[in-house]
Amino acid sequence: MIGARIRELRTVRGLTLAQLATEAGVSSGLISQVERGLADPSLETLRKIAKVLDLPLFSLFQEPDASAVAVVRRDGRMLVRSPAGGITYTRVSPGHGRLEVLEGHLLPGGSSAAEPWSHPSEECVLVLRGRLVVEVSGAEHVLEAGDSCHFDSSLPHRYLNTGDEPVDFVIVATPPSY
């Protein structure tokens, strides 16, 4: 499904496969394989593609029709894994509108990104279980279960699990961004 969605969005924007690949900094072969459903892109690759397409990351998974009321069932959530970072996100919100809600699961020693990154949005993160380090502009903020942190996402940031136990958390971002 994601490959077809990427092809659709690329075509609507008038980009060739090679143009998308070049702007995203990945190979044309990878984009081709993703679009044909032969390869699963990493979370980092999806971020790069979404940025080139000027869309929030999870809009790559969005269903075309959006209704006024959306129910997202636990077993119907969109899932994105990052094998290198040890992080998993599921989209709790329906994927359209001005608000995005994600549930995150971060393994011990894992991070949301290799390096802090920024995007035009604001975020609030709430830790459900475990201990999460929120790095924003080089400063580390340690959150325990029940703690939250709000920040401007245009500042370079990432989430880290420096502990020995998995961390579960919820992120709310508005507007949805990369």
CB atoms within 10 A of CB 5: 18
Mean pLDDT value of segment 45-67? 79
Residue 5 has pLDDT above 90, yes or no: no
Kindly report which listed range (19-23, 91-95, 114-118) carries the lowest average pLDDT score.
91-95
Enumerate domains of the chain plus CATH numbers. 2-55 (1.10.260.40), 74-174 (2.60.120.10)
What global pTM score does this model have? 0.68
Residue 107 has a pLDDT of 95
User: What single string gives the DSSP state of each residue in 66-122?
Assistant: --SS----GGG-EEEEETTTTEEEEE-S-S-SS-EEEEEEE-TT-BS-SS-B--SSE
Residue 78 has pLDDT above 80, yes or no: no
